[in-house]
Amino acid sequence: MLLVVDVGNTDIVFGFYEDQTWKAVLRTPTHQPWSANGVVNWIKKEWASKDLGDTLPSLALISSVVPSISPQIQRGLALWLGYSPTLMRPKLYETLAIQVIVPEEIGSDLVANAVYAHENYKSNVLIVDFGTALTFTLVNAEGKMEGVSIAPGLKTAVKSLFSQTAQLPEVPLEMPQFNLGTDTVSAIQAGILWGYVGMVKEMISRVKEDKKGDLKVVATGGLSSILTPLASYFDEVNKLITLEGLRLIAERLKA
DSSP bridge pairs for 133? 152
Summarised one tens digit per residue, pLDDT across range 106-149 is 999 999 999 999 999 999 999 999 998 999 999 999 999 999 99
DSSP 179: S
Q: Are 124 and 138 in contact (CB under 8 A)?
A: yes
In whole angstroms, give the CA distance from residue 109 to residue 244.
Answer: 11
Identify which has the larger pLDDT, 97 or 225: 97
Pick the catalytic residue: 6, 19, 51, 109? 109
In whole angstroms, give the CA distance from residue 22 to residue 17.
Answer: 4
Summarised one tens digit per residue, pLDDT across range 148-200 is 999 999 888 888 877 767 666 678 888 888 899 998 888 988 999 999 999 99
Residue 218 has pLDDT above 90, yes or no: yes
Lowest mean pLDDT among 4-18, 153-167, 203-217, 240-254: 153-167
| pLDDT at residue 83 in the model | 96
Confidence of residue 44 (pLDDT cuts 50, 70, 90): very high
Region class of 246: left (phi > 0), else alpha (psi between -120 and 50), else beta: alpha
In whole angstroms, give the CA distance from residue 248 to residue 97.
Answer: 10
Main-chain phi, psi angles of 157, to 5 degrees: -65, -45
In whole angstroms, give the CA distance from residue 6 to residue 243.
Answer: 7
Query: Is 129 annotated as catalytic?
Result: no
pTM of structure: 0.92
User: Averaged over 14-21, what is the pLDDT?
Assistant: 95
